[in-house]
Structure 1
C-alpha cells in the first residue's frame, strides 16, 4: 500500500472534505473508488493490499472490525485512519458497500437450485418437485384456505380469486373493496378467522384511497372483514382504519401489510411507514408499526399506549420500516416479523409489547442511492434484530411450517425474498437462528409462503405470476 499517497489523501480530506460538510451526501461506491480502489482494487479483488472478496481476514471480517479499521487504520499494515475524513454514517455505508460486493462475487460462483416445474430438487433434508397450482394471475400477493379446501388469492391490482377443485375460477369475487393499486399499494393480505367454520369471517388488508381535508388524493392501509356468498363479497365490516388526517399523499410505498391471529381473540397486523421514515418513531401516527386489535376491531385495554394522550391505541410496537412478514411460532407462541430495510438491513425480529425497533434512528442499511442514513446500528432502548440480511434480499412473507409432508422441516421458518428471488429455510432454536438454507433461487420474485391444509408448502411468485407448491419425492 502506498502509505505516503494515502497520507496526503487523508490530510486533504481532513481539511477540504470535512465530515460536517459532506455528512449523508457522499455515495459509498464513489468514496470507495476515490479512496480505496487504488490499493484494494476497483472490484475489491486486491492490489497492493489483499483482496476483500475471499474469507481471509487478517484482523477479522465482522462489521465492527471493518468499521474500526476504516476509522482508526492499522499502522502495521500501512492502512491510514479515515475517521477524520469520513463521517460515521459514511463509514457505515462503506461497510454495506463492501458486503454487497462480496455477496455479489460469492453468488456469481455458487450454484443454487433454479428448477423448472418438473425438476427434482434435493435440499439438505428433503427432496421435492415444484407443482403449479394456479397461473394466469396478476401480481398475486397472498393466499389463504377455506375449510372446504378452496384457496383464496389476492391480486395486487385489486381482485380476490378462488381456486376450487384444483382450478382457478375465471371470475374474481365480486364487490371487494376499491384499492389504490399505484406503486406498492393494492389488495394485499387475505386471512381467514381461526373459527371460520363457525363465523365465516374473511379478512382483507389493502391500500385504501381517500381524499383529505384539502381534497388531495391520499391513501393508507385499511383492514376489513366480510364473507363470500355466491361468488360475491358481502357483510363487510371495517376492522381498522387510520385517522384520515394521518393518510399519506406522497409516494405509493410501504403499506405493509400482514395479518396474524394468536388464537386468543387478538389480531396482529403490520403497517409500513409509508415512505415517511420519521413517522415510525411517532406513536401518534399509525405508520411504521405493528398493531394489535380484537378480531372485531376493538382496541384491547392492555395495549401499551392505549392511555397515552394522542397515541394510536392499536399500536403494539413502533420503529418498524416496512414489515411484510408476520407469523407465530406454533411451538412457543412467539410472534416473528420480517421487514424490508433500505439498501441493506433487512430484519428478522421477535415482536414484543411496546418495544421500539429503531427505524430510522438505527439501521444496518443505507439509502438506495448509496448515500448513508446513519452511522448508528445500535442505541439503548432500541431493539436489535435477531438477524439482519445485509446486503438486502428484499425479505417478504414468512411462515412456520406445520405440515406433515416434510417432517424434518416441522417448526422451521420459511422466508421469501423479492429482489434476490429466494426461498430460505431458517432454523430457530431458543429464539435464535442457528442455520439458513437457500431452497430456491432465481425462478421468480417470491412474495409469500404458506403451509397448506394438505401438508404441502405453497409459494406465491411474481414474474411469472403463479402459485406453486413443494411436493415431496420419496
Structure 2
C-alpha cells in the first residue's frame, strides 16, 4: 500500500476566537502528515501493539491489523455477533494496563438484546490473527428502540479499573435515572466485577457500576496517569458539546442543563445552563463541533502542546486543540488539520509523541513534526 505524504503548516490553520489564540511559534510549526492506511470503513478505535502494528476497529463490525513498517493490513477473526445499525457497531479497543503479562485487549460494541442494542464491554486475547477467550464483562442496561448514542469509549486508571462511557441511547431521561446505565460513565475492575468504593454501590435503586451520570453521548475519554484525572468529551444537542473533568459520583446535568438548543425550535434544552448540584463543563462548543476521541498530549514531538487536550471533530472536520491553565480552565483553542477534509473519529499518541488520527472515510493518518 503506498503512503501518501502531505505537508501542511499550522499558519494555514483557522484559529477560532472563542478564547485565546495559540502562540506564533505554534502557528509556524511544519507538520508531516502521512496517510498510512485507507478504505477501512469507519475506523472507530486504534491501539498500538509492541510489534509495531496497530489494531483498528471498524464500526461495520470488523477488526484489522496494520503493519506500520510496510503498510500491510490483515483481518482479525473471532469477533462476536455485533448489532451494526445506525450508530451501532464495533466501537473502541484498548490494551489492558497489564497487557504484557495477561494479553487482554478490551473492546466495546453494540450487542443485540431481543432486537434492541446495548453497549457492551468485553475482552479477548490475540492469537495468530484471531481473537480467543472472548469474555463479555458487562452488557449494560441501556437497550432502547433507537440506534443512536451508544457512547463506547474505554479508559483505564492506575489502580486496575476500567471506565466505559454509555450514551443516553436517544432517551434523554435515561441520563438522570440511576437504575439504568445509559447516560453514564461506568467503572469496573479489570475482570468486570464492581469496585467496592464505587459511589453508588450501597444505593438500593442505583446500578453500582455507575461512576458519573447526566451525560448525553460521550465519545471521547482519557485518563491522565500523572495527574490521576479523568477527562471526557460529549456531543451536545444543537450546540453545547462539552469537555468535562470527571469526578466520582457527580451529576453532569443532561438533560436538565445544557448549553445547546432544541432541534425543533430555538429554545434552550432543559432549565438552562446551570442548576444546583450539577457540574459545569470545562469548555463548551457553540456551535457544535461533534467531538470524538480524546487525549491529553504528553509527548516530546510537540513540546508546546504538552497537557493540551486533543479531540477530533466530526462535523467541522478538524483536530481540536485546547490549552489549559494550571487550574484546568480552558484558555485557548486551535483548529488543526482542516486541510485533510476528514471527519476525525479518533486520535492516539505513540511513544515518540507522534499522533495517529482516523477519519470516517476510512483513513489512518500519522502526524509528526516535519
Instruction: Output the TM-score relative to the length of structure 1.
Output: 0.71
Query: Is 1:189 paired with 2:87?
Result: no
What is aligned with 1:223? Answer: 121
- Shift in Å, 1:375: 4.5
Q: 2:313 touches 2:343 (CA, 8 Å); kept in 1?
A: yes
- Shift in Å, 1:416: 0.9
Query: Is 1:247 paired with 2:151?
Result: no
What is aligned with 2:112? Answer: 209
1:360 aligns with one of 246, 255, 261: 255
Q: Distance in 1 between matches of 2:180 and 2:270?
A: 23
- Shift in Å, 1:371: 4.5
What is aligned with 1:448? Answer: 346
Distance 1:168 1:208, change over 3 A: farther
2:223 aligns with one of 308, 328, 331: 328
Query: Is 1:272 paired with 2:272?
Result: no
What is aligned with 1:300? Answer: 195
Q: How does 1:267-416 map to 2 (within 5 A)?
A: 267-372=162-267, 373-416=269-312
1:261 aligns with one of 156, 159, 163: 156
Q: Distance in 1 between matches of 2:157 and 2:190?
A: 10
The gaps in structure 1 that reach 5 residues or longer are 1-115, 212-216
Q: Distance in 2 between matches of 1:380 and 1:159?
A: 44
Q: 1:400 touches 1:451 (CA, 8 Å); kept in 2?
A: no
Q: Distance in 2 between matches of 1:165 and 1:341?
A: 35
Runs of 4+ residues deviating >6 angstroms: none
SS in 1 for 2:76: coil
Instruction: Output the TM-score relative to the length of structure 2.
Output: 0.91
- Shift in Å, 1:170: 4.5
Between Structure 1 and Structure 2, whose CA radius of gyration is higher?
Answer: 1
- Shift in Å, 1:330: 4.1
- Shift in Å, 1:407: 2.0
Q: 2:322 touches 2:330 (CA, 8 Å); kept in 1?
A: yes
SS in 2 for 1:172: strand
Query: Is 1:461 paired with 2:359?
Result: yes
What is aligned with 1:426? Answer: 322
Q: 1:272 touches 1:287 (CA, 8 Å); kept in 2?
A: yes
Q: 1:330 touches 1:400 (CA, 8 Å); kept in 2?
A: no
SS in 2 for 1:403: coil
What is aligned with 1:121? Answer: 9
What is aligned with 2:60? Answer: 157
- Shift in Å, 1:390: 0.9
- Shift in Å, 1:310: 3.1
What is aligned with 2:17? Answer: none
Q: Distance in 2 between matches of 1:403 and 1:345?
A: 30
- Shift in Å, 1:167: 4.3
Q: 2:157 touches 2:225 (CA, 8 Å); kept in 1?
A: no
Q: Distance in 1 between matches of 2:333 and 2:229?
A: 19
Q: Deviations over 1:361-415 (max 9, x none)?
A: 1111112233533341111011111110011011111111222222222222111
Q: 1:147 touches 1:197 (CA, 8 Å); kept in 2?
A: no
Q: 1:402 touches 1:410 (CA, 8 Å); kept in 2?
A: yes
Q: Distance in 1 between matches of 2:73 and 2:35?
A: 17
Q: 1:330 touches 1:411 (CA, 8 Å); kept in 2?
A: no
Q: Distance in 2 between matches of 1:352 and 1:364?
A: 20
- Shift in Å, 1:237: 1.4
Bigger strand fraction = 2
Q: Distance in 2 between matches of 1:117 and 1:423?
A: 18
Q: Distance in 2 between matches of 1:120 and 1:165?
A: 22
Q: Distance in 1 between matches of 2:323 and 2:224?
A: 12
Q: Distance in 2 between matches of 1:420 and 1:445?
A: 7
Q: Greater shift after overlay, 358-367 or 448-457? A: 448-457
Q: 1:426 touches 1:435 (CA, 8 Å); kept in 2?
A: yes
Q: Distance in 2 between matches of 1:259 and 1:310?
A: 25
Q: 1:130 touches 1:468 (CA, 8 Å); kept in 2?
A: yes
